[in-house]
Amino acid sequence: MQKAPIYIYQLKTWPNFVWKTAIINPLLTEVRKKQAYLLGRMRGLGFPLQEEANLEIVTLDILKSSEIEGEILNAEEVRSSVARKLGIDRPGWISTDRHVDGIVEMMLDATVNYNTPLTEERLCGWQASLFPAGRSGLVSITTGAWRDNPATHPMQVISGMMGREKVHFQAPEAALIPDEMFALLHWFNEDNEVDALLKAAIAHLWFITIHPFDDGNGRIARAITDLQLARADKTSLRFYSMSAQIRKERNRYYHILETTQKGTLDITSWIEWFLQCLDRTMDESEKDLAMVLQKAAFWSKHIHTVFNARQRQMLNKIMDGYEGYITSSNWAKITNTSVDTAIRDINDLVEKGILQKGPAGGRSTRYSLE
């Protein structure tokens, strides 16, 4: 007797997704309004501010997408790598390793080249960029190709300790991946009647359900989402980060994915959550962009002020929301210089009226922006 389907890809009509337009269309209308307002506002700011906003949002997107998977990247490394690859020449960028550069290359290829067709070769290139050493953690994995695990060792999403694991999801057998991905990529690249934002939601779910790689599927699914959102926005410049919002809602994200993958092909609940998350993303972008505009106003005000590379690096770090204390010892550690040099840098900024000195004395003195 044939087993009843457990996952949606086992259903006879897979992947013919359906949804309730009476529920989805009002949400879609609201998100479209916020999208139009945000893009209109940013277009009115001129290219220098757009470029600054794009740098910060892409950096945030990369950091948060990695955090969802439990990987914490160095923010300054990511920002420096993004800036260099975007051709933003500014003192203070730090050196980066090939792992960070690979992640940045994947994300920028998704957004800058959003009009380029999505292909097997391109996706495999993204996955290879995520794991340039061919390893995930301490385990060697297949990179730059679909996974080829045997049917006796299925690809599973598991949580819990040894002996008490819970299987949240089991992906299709590796032998099915070429046909499954051919169908997804054909649908994704063709012009169809599906709204561009809905297409982002469906592509995300469809890809992550196939789970075609040994590792990196979550980050690549979010890169595909960003690519499709760039198509929806009709611009490669990113002014909001859905990955940052998903990071805040990570538990709900995993729950709605698991529920949907074990449900029917009516994916109304998934699309509803996706659009609501995107709506909250648009709201949060106001805060992120306020920080960008504040930074831009600062550098515009001090366009003729002379700063060295260390001072620029630290001022940017402070305005990016640095949570530590600004002391001479922290300054020296971050900029890789001596404490005496850090003190001279800080005193120079105090004399210029840019930093203000706290009440404590000595090397424990804390400083903040005026």
What pLDDT score was predicted for residue 1? 42
- Kindly report the average pLDDT of the chain as a whole number: 91
Residue 341 · residue 313 · CB < 8 Å: no
Domains of the chain as residue ranges with CATH = 8-296 (1.10.3290.10), 308-369 (1.10.10.10)
DSSP, residue by residue, 255-316 = HHHHHHHTS-SB-HHHHHHHHHHHHHHHHHHHHHHHHHHHHHHHHHHTTTS---HHHHHHHH
Query: pLDDT at residue 293 above 80?
Result: no
Tens-digit pLDDT profile for residues 227-258? 999 999 999 999 999 999 999 999 999 999 99
Gap between the Cα atoms of 326 and 47, Å rounded: 32
Task: Report the run of H or E that residue 84 belongs to, with start and end.
Answer: helix 75-86
**Average pLDDT of the residues in 140-168:** 85
**Phi and psi of 213, rounded to 5°?**
-110, 160
pLDDT digits (tens, 9 = 90+) for 174-204: 999 999 999 999 999 999 899 999 999 999 9
Do residues 332 and 342 make contact, with C-beta atoms less than 8 angstroms apart? yes
pLDDT, position 3? 62
Q: Give the H/E segment covering residue 369.
A: strand 367-369
Q: pLDDT (tens digit, 9 = 90+) per residue, 57-116?
A: 999 999 999 999 999 999 889 999 999 999 988 766 888 989 999 999 999 999 999 999
pLDDT above 70 as % of the chain:
96
Buried-exposed string 156-183: b where 16+ CB fall within 10 A, e elsewhere? ebeeeeeeeeeebbbbbebeebeebbee
What string of DSSP letters covers 16-46? Answer: --B--HHHHHHHHHHHHHHHHHHHHHHHTT-
Report the candidate in 225, 233, 223 with the shortest Cα–Cα distance to residue 43.
Answer: 233
pLDDT at 282: 94
Whether residue 330 contacts residue 317, with contact meaning beta carbons closer than 8 Å, is answered with no
CA distance 171 to 270: 18
Burial of 294 (0-12, 13-18, 19+ CB in 10 A): exposed
Percent of the residues in the chain that have a pLDDT greater than 90, as a whole number: 65
DSSP category for residue 11: S
Q: What is the pTM of this model?
A: 0.84
Those residues with Cβ within 8 angstroms of residue 153's Cβ, 6 or more apart along the chain or in another chain? none
Q: Is the pLDDT of residue 128 over 70?
A: yes
Average pLDDT of the residues in 332-360: 90
Q: Tokens standing for 210?
A: 């196939």
For the stretch 310-333, pLDDT in tens is 998 889 888 877 777 889 999 999
Residue 346: per-residue pLDDT: 92
- Per-residue pLDDT of 6-51, as tens digits, reads 899 999 999 999 999 999 999 999 999 999 999 998 888 788 888 8
CA distance linking residue 265 with residue 16, whole number of Å: 7
